[in-house]
């Protein structure tokens, strides 16, 4: 596995934060967007331990159908039942405000779905293949046209990872007062 194929899951955060900022008039849940944007990479360690190889590290949760169904279901469960409790163990933020943002609702489900979808679509720009249309198309038959357009796997990886690092730094710097609440609760 090339370095450019390694998942750098936290770099999906800036997209979740931007979606949250753009959807501020409709009160989107930042925790749900954030958790949803991380969920597809949960399959990576499972695939590694099941196969002892990194040949196939993106499967069901990186497909549109799997991500939007199973990925959303997992994201909703983690957001509602674990996010406020687990994150508050490690970081100082308003747990009551987080619980409110993580309360089950149709908006929360939508936010989890949007987060998962943002992850799947961002990965198309960063990986040479993504099983977008699985199970209708074989896992290796969905090559990314964006990676080739950006100059190949390594260059695409540098562009995407670099952009997400800069964007994340800018977004986090903007919220430096009341940092943890702005970064993790919204």
DSSP string, 24-82: GGGT--HHHHHHHHHGGGGHHHHHHHHHSSSS----GGGSHHHIIIIIHHHHHHHHHHT
pLDDT at 88: 86
142 versus 157: which is more confidently predicted?
A: 157
Count of structural domains within the chain: 1
143 versus 40: which is more confidently predicted?
A: 40
Residue 4: pLDDT band with limits 50, 70, 90:
very low
Render pLDDT for 55-97 as a digit per residue (tens, 0 to 9).
556 778 989 999 999 999 999 999 999 999 998 888 888 888 8
pLDDT at 7: 60
Render pLDDT for 112-146 as a digit per residue (tens, 0 to 9).
999 999 999 888 887 777 788 878 877 666 677 78
Residue 181: pLDDT band with limits 50, 70, 90:
confident
Residue 134 lies in domain: 3-184
pTM check: above 0.85: yes
Determine which helix (DSSP H) or strand (DSSP E) holds 109, and give its type and residue range.
helix 106-124
Q: What is the mean pLDDT of residues 9-21?
A: 89
Q: Which residues in 23-32 are b (16+ Cβ under 10 Å) and which e?
A: beeeebbbbb
Render pLDDT for 41-55 as a digit per residue (tens, 0 to 9).
888 777 777 776 555
pLDDT at 79: 97
């Amino acid at each position: 596995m090339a370095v450019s194929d390694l998942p750098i899951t936290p770099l999906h955060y800036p997209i979740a934060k931007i979606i949250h900022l753009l959807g501020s008039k409709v009160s989107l849940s930042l925790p749900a967007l954030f958790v949803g944007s991380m969920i597809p990479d949960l399959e990576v360690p499972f695939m590694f331990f099941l196969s002892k190889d990194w040949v196939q590290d993106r499967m069901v949760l990186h497909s549109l159908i799997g991500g939007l169904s199973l990925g959303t279901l997992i994201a909703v469960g983690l957001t509602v039942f674990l996010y406020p409790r687990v994150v508050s163990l490690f970081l100082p933020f308003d747990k009551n405000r987080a619980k409110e943002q993580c309360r089950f609702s149709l908006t929360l489900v939508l936010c989890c779905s949007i987060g998962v979808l943002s992850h799947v679509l961002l990965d198309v720009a960063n990986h040479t293949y993504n099983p977008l249309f699985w199970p209708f198309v074989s896992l290796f038959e969905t090559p990314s046209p964006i990676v080739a357009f950006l100059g190949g796997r390594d260059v695409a990886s540098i562009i995407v990872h670099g952009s997400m690092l800069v964007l994340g730094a800018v977004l986090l710097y903007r919220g430096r007062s009341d940092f943890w609440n702005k970064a993790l609760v919204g």
